[in-house]
A and B are shown apart, each in its own frame.
Chain A
Amino acid sequence: MVESFGFNRRQFGGLVAGLTASLGAGSAWAQNTRPFKLGALNSITGAGGVYGPGMLEAIKLAVKEVNDAGGAAGRKFEIFAEDDQTRADAAVLAAKKLVEITKVEAIVGIWPSAVQLAVMPITNAAGIITMNTSGAPEIDENDKLDLVWQFYGSNVIFGRAFAETVRKLGYKRPGVMAFNNATMLAQARYFQKTWEEKGDKVVDFIPYEPNQTSYRTELDRLLSKKPDIISASSYLPDLTIILKEWYQSGIPCKFIAPGWSANETLARTLGADVVDGILSVSNVPATQNPAFKHFSSAFKAATGREPETFAAASYDMVICLALALQAAGAEATPAQIASKIRTVAEQPGKKVSSFAEGRELLLKGEKIDFDGASAPLTFTPEGRSTPDFGIYEFQKDKLVLKEVIRLT
C-alpha cells in the first residue's frame, strides 16, 4: 500500500554528492573545453517516485557512456540532479535553480506533464532544451521554439492504441469514461474517433468530474447501455473508485485503462478478484534494439532489476543530446544543438546503437540514425518519439504482456 520511494532526501543528497565526486575523479583526462552542464529533474519522491530513481540511474549510465568515449565534441557531461517531488511548484523552484544558478544547458528526465508544462516558460525563456516522458498534447502544441522533446506516447496516440486493441480482441460494444480534463478527454475522444472510423459506434461517452466520492451514477448510466468493455481514461484514484463500484455492482464487463493507473498499486489496493482480466496499455521499451540490450545489462548491474520504459527513455535522452552536440560542435548554443536532434536519429542515416559508434561516424562526416533503448526514435515535427505499445492483462493480480503494437 505504501509506495516505496527507494530514496529519501538524505540518501538523494548523498547520491548527488557522490555523483559529482565521481565525475570529478573521472576528469583526470586533460581537456580544454568546458563541461556540458546537464540538469536531471526527476520525480524522486511523490507519485512519480516509483520511476524517478530509475530514470536518474539511466541518466548516470548514459553520461558515463558519453564521458568514457571522450565526451561530445570534446565536452564532458556533468550532472546536476534535482528532485521535483512530482509537483509543479517544487519543480519550478528546482528548474529556476538549475537554470539561473547552475546555468545548465539542458534538463532531462522530466516525468509528469504537469512538471514539463510548469517549467517550460522558464526553460524556453532561457533558451535551453528539455526532454521528458510526458503525454499531454498541450506540450506538443505549445513548444513553439522546438526545444522540448517527448520520449513517450502522447495521450492522443494512447486513445488510438486503446481502440485498436479493443477491436483486435473482438469487442463489439465499447463504452467510454473519461476524467474531465483536457488530456484525458483528448485521449477518450481519440478512442471514439478511431473506433467510429469504421462505422461502429461507442455505446456511450461519459466524462466525469474529478475528486468525487463516488462515480456510481455515472457508471450505472454507462452499464445500463450494456457495454462489453469500458475504456477508462483515468488516473489511479478515480479508477480505484470506479472499479470498486463496478465490482460491487456485479455486472459483467471488461475494462481497458492506461498503464499509469492500471498498475501494480491498483492490484494491491483492490485485490486479485477485482482486477483479474483488466487490460492495461503502456509504452514498452524497444527490447530488440542493441541499444536496449547494452543499456539493460548496465542497468541491471547497477540496480539489480530490469529497466522500464521511462528509464530507457531517459537513457535515450542523454545519448540523443550528446550526439546532437557532437554534430553541432562544441560552441553550439542549446537551440543549435536542438536543431540537430532530429538529424542524428533519422533515415537514411547509418544505424547506430551507442554514443561511441555514432560519434565515430559523425567525425567521419557520415549521417547517422540512432536507434534507442526506448524506441527507434523517429521524432514528429512536434518533437515526439513514440515507443511501442504493450498490451497487458491482469491474470489474478499480475500484469502479463499479451502483445506489442506499433503506432506512429
Chain B
Amino acid sequence: MIWVDLANATINGIVIGLLLALPALAVTLVFGIARFPNAATGDFMTFGAYTVVAAKSLLALPLAIGVAMACALTALLSLFFYWWVFRALVRRSPVASLIVSIGIALVVRSTITFFAGQSQYTIEVPLVRAWNFDGVRIVPTDLYIAGVAVTALVLTFCLLHLTPLGRRMRAVADNMELARASGINVGRVMITLFAIVGFYCGLGGVLIGIKAVVLPELGWELLLLLFAAVILGGIGSPLGAIIGMLVFSVSQEIASLWVGASYKIVFAFFLLLGVLLLRPQGILGKVRAVR
C-alpha cells in the first residue's frame, strides 16, 4: 500500500506548503520590491494568530470576523513599522533593514508574551473526521485552509499582473530609480506592499494557529524554512516562492516515510543544495546583471 502512504504524505505536504506559501510570498515580495529579507515576517504571523485568539476569547467574536480582524490588524502593524522604521532606511544598505527587522521581530514577540504569557492557546474550530478513500484521507478542515490560501494567492497574482497598481509594483521591483523618474509614487507602492505583506502574514499565522497550536515562537521557528523556500523558488519571484514552498514541504513529508523524522528537514535542505548547484538563481529566479 505504498501509494496510499505516498498519497497521504503528498496531500499533507501540499496543505502545509500552501499554508506557508502565504508568508513565503510576503518574504519574496518585500525582497523583490523593498530589497531586504524581512525577518519580522514570522512574528507578524504570530501576531495574527494571537489576534484571533484574543478576538475569540476576549471579545467572543465569531471566527470569520476574528480572521478578518487579524489580517487587518497585522496589515496595520506592518504599515506602522514601515512608516516608523523601514521608510527611513530605504536608501541604506539592506543589511540595516535586515537587522532592524530582527529587532522588530523581538519586540513583537516579547510584547505578545508580556500580555499572553508562554502557555499555549488554540484557535478552536470543530474537529471533523477525515474523508477516507481506501486509506487516502482528506481532512475537510485542511481543504478549507488550502482553499483560503489558494484564493489569497490567486488574488495577489491578479493584483500584480492585472491592475495598474501591480504594474507599478513590478516597475519599482525592476528599478526603483527609473520608476520614480517615470512618475511612479514609490511611497504609495511601498504602503501597498507592506499592507499586503501584513495581510498575508496575519492570514498565514491564523491558518497555522488553526492547524497546530498558538505559541509565541509560532512564526519565528518557521523563518528559516520560509527563507529557504524563497531561495529555492528564486528570490523575488512570487510564483517561485509558492513553488519553492510546495517542493520543500512535499519533499519533507515524503522523505519522512523512509528516513527518520529527524532527517526530513536535512533532506529538504539537501534538495535545496541540489537545485542551487544546477540553477544558482533558484527554480524561477532571473539572473540579474550587476551594475
User: Which of A's residues lie within 8 Å of B, judged by CB?
Assistant: 1-3, 5, 45-47, 49, 85-87, 180, 206-209, 211-214, 216-218, 220-221, 224, 236-237, 240-241, 244, 247-250, 265, 269-271, 273-274
Q: Mark contacts of B222-262 with chain A using CB atoms, 8 A cut-off: 1 yes-contact digit, 0 otherwise.
A: 10000000000000000000000000000001001100111
Contact, CB under 8 Å: A271 / B213: no
Q: Are B119's CB and A47's CB within 8 A?
A: yes
Indicate if the CB atoms of A269 and B118 lie closer than 8 Å.
no
B127, CB-defined interface residue at 8 Å: yes
CA distance A216 to B212 in the complex (A): 11
The one of B16, B124, B257, B261 in contact with A180, judged by C-beta atoms closer than 8 angstroms, is: B261
- Contact residue among B9, B119, B129, B217 (Cβ-Cβ distance under 8 Å from A220): B9
A220 CB contacts on chain B under 8 angstroms: 5, 8-9, 12
Q: Which residues on A sit within 8 Å (CB–CB) of B261?
A: 180, 206-209, 218
- Which single residue of chain A is at the shortest CB-CB distance from B127? A247
Q: Provide the residues of chain B in CB contact with A240, threshold 8 Å.
A: 120, 122, 213
- A217 vs B15: C-alpha distance in the bound complex, in angstroms? 12
In the complex the two chains form, is A270's CB within 8 Å of B118's CB? no
CB distance from A8 to the nearest CB of B (A): 11
**Known A86-B118, A180-B262: A247·B129 in contact at CB below 8 Å:** yes
Interface residues of B in 118-163 (CB under 8 A from A): 118-122, 124, 127-130, 132, 137, 139, 141
Known A47-B118, A85-B118, A250-B132; 15 more pairs at CB < 8 Å: A1-B121, A3-B117, A3-B119, A49-B119, A86-B118, A211-B217, A212-B212, A213-B222, A220-B5, A220-B12, A241-B213, A248-B128, A249-B130, A250-B130, A269-B120
A5 to B118, CA, bound (A): 12
Q: Which residues of B contact A249 (CB under 8 A)?
A: 129-130, 137
A271 touches B127 (CB 8 A): yes
Instruction: List the A residue with the shortest CB-CB distance to B53.
Output: A1
Question: By the criterion CB–CB under 8 Å, are B117 and A46 in contact?
Answer: yes
Residue B100 interfacial (CB < 8 Å): no
How many residues of B are in contact with the other chain, CB < 8 A?
Answer: 43
B5 contact set on A, CB distance < 8 A: 220-221, 224
Q: List 27 A-B contacts (CB under 8 A).
A: A1-B122, A3-B119, A5-B117, A46-B118, A86-B118, A206-B260, A208-B261, A209-B261, A209-B264, A211-B217, A213-B20, A213-B211, A213-B212, A214-B15, A217-B8, A217-B9, A217-B256, A217-B257, A220-B8, A224-B5, A237-B212, A240-B120, A244-B127, A248-B130, A250-B129, A270-B127, A271-B127
Task: Check A46 against B119 for contact (C-beta < 8 Å).
Answer: yes
Give B94 Cβ to nearest chain A Cβ, in Å: 28
Give the CA-CA distance A2 to B19 in the complex, in Å: 26
B57 interfacial contact with A, CB 8 Å: yes
- Residues of B near A45 (CB, < 8 A) are 117
Task: Give CA–CA (A253, B20) in the complex, Å.
Answer: 30
B176 within 8 A of A: no
Q: Is B221 on the interface with A (CB-CB < 8 A)?
A: yes
What residues of chain B have their CB less than 8 Å away from a CB belonging to chain A? 1, 5, 8-9, 12-13, 15-16, 19-20, 53, 57, 117-122, 124, 127-130, 132, 137, 139, 141, 208, 211-213, 215, 217, 221-222, 253, 256-257, 260-262, 264-265
Task: Tell me how far the C-beta of B44 lies from the nearest C-beta in chain A, rounded to whole angstroms.
Answer: 17
Which of B12, B122, B221, B265 is within 8 Å of A217, CB to CB?
B12
Q: Which residues on A sit within 8 Å (CB–CB) of B253?
A: 216-217
Complex Cα gap A209–B253 (Å): 12
The interface residues of chain B lying within 8 Å CB-to-CB of A3 are: 117, 119
- What A residues does B129 contact at CB under 8 A? 247-250
List residues of chain A with CB within 8 A of the CB of B13.
Answer: 217
CB proximity of B152 to chain A, nearest CB, Å? 17
Q: Is the CB of B262 within 8 A of A213?
A: no
Least distance between B236 CB and chain A CB atoms (Å): 25
B215 CB contacts on chain A under 8 angstroms? 237
Q: Which of A87, A207, A208, A214 contacts B212 (CB 8 A)?
A: A214
**Contact assessment for B262 and A209 in the assembled complex, using a CB-CB cutoff below 8 Å:** yes
A214 to B124, CA, bound (A): 16
Minimum distance in angstroms from A219 CB to a CB of chain B: 10
Task: Verify B16–A213 contact, CB threshold 8 A.
Answer: yes
Residue of B nearest to A244 (CB): B127
Q: What CA separation (Å) do A179 and B171 show in the bound complex?
A: 48
A274: nearest chain-B partner, CB-CB: B127
Contact in complex: B127, A213 (CB < 8 Å):
no
With the chains together, A240 CA to B13 CA distance in Å? 20
Q: Please tell me if the beta carbons of A248 and B139 are within 8 angstroms of each other in the complex.
A: yes
Instruction: Give chain A residues whose Cβ lies under 8 Å from the Cβ of B120.
Output: 236-237, 240, 265, 269
A248: which of B1, B53, B141, B222 is its contact (CB, 8 Å)?
Answer: B141
Known: A206-B261, A207-B261. A213 touches B122 (CB 8 A): no
Is B139 touching A218 in the complex (CB atoms < 8 A)? no
Chain B residues with CB under 8 Å of A212's CB are 212
Q: State whether A269 and B122 are in contact (beta carbons under 8 Å apart), knowing that A211-B217, A214-B16 are contacts in the complex.
A: yes
* C-alpha gap A180/B261 in the complex (Å): 9
Task: Identify the closest chain A residue to B129 (Cβ).
Answer: A250
Q: How far is the CA of A271 from the CA of B127 in the complex (A)?
A: 9
Question: Using Cβ atoms and an 8 Å threshold, which residues of chain A touch B211?
Answer: 213-214, 241
Contacts of A209 in B (CB 8 A): 261-262, 264-265
> What is the distance, in angstroms, from A35's C-beta to the closest C-beta of chain B?
34
Chain B residues lying within 8 Å of A87, measured Cβ to Cβ, are: 118
A236 CA to B19 CA in the complex, in Å? Answer: 23
Complex contacts, A241 vs chain B, CB 8 Å? 211-213
Point out the residues of chain B lying under 8 angstroms from A247, CB to CB.
Answer: 127, 129
